[in-house]
Copies of this chain bind each other. A is one copy, B any other.
């Protein structure tokens, strides 16, 4: 601990200088980056996508089991995911960070290392931010800017009757990873000599701590010349997102429980918690997979893709939003999701 640097020693300007010293620019749209009142961007004839995501210590992350490097990485990826969900390409971020002086410079450099790794992997520039102190805890808000070809924006509102409903990857894994981490934390709190063995849960824990955004899917769809009719990323849970798309598009849907893609490790781990995999797939958040609808004429273009599952289809609004069980019974889709406000002081 002797070599750690208190933030009060270097001050705000010193901190900002240190955190930004290795900043590299990757995009030709970034004309001027950190160091002035604003960054300057030139998007020429593209449309611009902007989104922001906030994360608060103790609510969105628990530093007992969240390495700061992973936190930085995840905060970026969850933002990039929003840009992909509009069929765009993320290109710049601004970082708003507020931390109490209990954090050391070295801790914040870890956080920034995670941010830089994500930016490098996804080819995104850090173009601005504001780093200030807080009375307690850490608050991290990232704003992402991206671009999309004119007329290629995919909104939530374009789903039409008979469109196929697709999801990428597999669902419920990030939530399952969170359950494992929470259980190990509780055991550790009760017995500090306890050494958690996360090896059997490596995949689900990684899905929670270090998720990825669906860049490959967006590139694949471009390559195959498929423009989804509607799309969003799965951050609150499939059930909640299905309802969002149906509400925005004024349509109904049928989703088949047996079609939900669920990883084997997710299923096996959930047995320990006595939770049905389908429940986690429908209501677990933070998978950052994409939910999208396509016209039936595009089915042949995606039907052999391992990473894309067709889970149902769009119906008339009057038929409601339905889950269909393997026994062919039908029930309403309900959003469980989280209500963070009910869990705090």
Q: Which residues of A contact B (CB under 8 A)?
A: 6-8, 10-13, 15, 31-32, 35-45, 47-60, 81-83, 85-86, 88, 92, 94-98, 100-102, 127-137, 139, 141, 143, 145-146, 148, 150, 153, 155-157, 231-233, 248, 337-345
Taking chain A's interface residues, is the majority helix, strand, or loop, or is none over half, making it mixed?
mixed
Least Cβ–Cβ distance between A15 and chain B, in angstroms? 7
Q: For the A-B complex with A38-B86, A40-B48, A41-B49 known, give 6 more contacts whose Cβ atoms are closer than 8 Å.
A: A11-B341, A40-B47, A50-B145, A52-B141, A102-B345, A134-B137
CB-defined contacts of A131 to chain B, threshold 8 Å:
54
Top 7 closest pairs, chain A to chain B, by CB: A96-B141, A58-B135, A37-B85, A38-B49, A143-B143, A133-B340, A41-B48
How many monomers of this chain does the complex have?
A: 2
Complex-state Cα separation, A345 to B102, whole angstroms: 7
Whether A60 contacts B132 by the Cβ 8 Å rule is yes
Partner of A39, one of B36, B51, B97, B337: B51
Q: Is B128 a contact of A52 with CB atoms below 8 Å?
A: yes
Question: B100 near A344 (CB under 8 angstroms)?
Answer: yes
Which residues of B sit under 8 angstroms from A133, Cβ to Cβ?
A: 56, 59, 340-341, 343-344
Docked-complex contact A339 and B11, CB < 8 angstroms: yes
Cβ contacts under 8 Å, A49 to chain B: 38-41
Residues of B within 8 A of A92 (CB): 50
Question: Complex: how many Å from CA A157 to CA B40?
Answer: 14
With a cutoff of 8 Å between Cβ atoms, the chain B residues found around residue A127 in the complex are: 50
Give bound CA distance, A153 to B94, whole Å.
19
Q: Please give the distance in Å from A295's CB to the nearest CB on chain B.
A: 20
Shortest A42–chain B CB gap in Å is 5
A94: chain B residues within 8 A (beta carbon): 50-52, 143
Bound CA span A228–B135, Å: 39
Query: Which B residues lie within 8 Å of A48 (CB)?
Result: 40-43, 48, 145
A53 touches B341 (CB 8 A): no
B residues in contact with A132, CB < 8 Å: 54-56, 59-60, 340
> Could you give 13 example pairs across A and B, Cβ below 8 Å?
A11-B339, A32-B153, A37-B231, A38-B83, A38-B88, A38-B146, A52-B129, A54-B130, A59-B98, A133-B340, A133-B343, A133-B344, A139-B141
The reply to whether A8 and B342 form a contact with Cβ atoms under 8 Å apart is: yes
- Chain B residues with CB under 8 Å of A60's CB are 132
State the CA gap A82–B128 with chains docked (Å): 12
Q: Which of A35, A53, A58, A139 has the most CB of B within 10 A?
A: A139
Partner of A8, one of B40, B85, B341: B341
A197 to B339, alpha carbons, bound, how many Å? Answer: 43
Output the nearest chain B residue to A15 by Cβ-Cβ distance: B341
> In the complex, what residues of B have CB within 8 A of residue A101's CB?
341-342, 344-345
Instruction: Select which of B40, B96, B102, B233 is within 8 A of A96 by beta carbon.
Output: B96
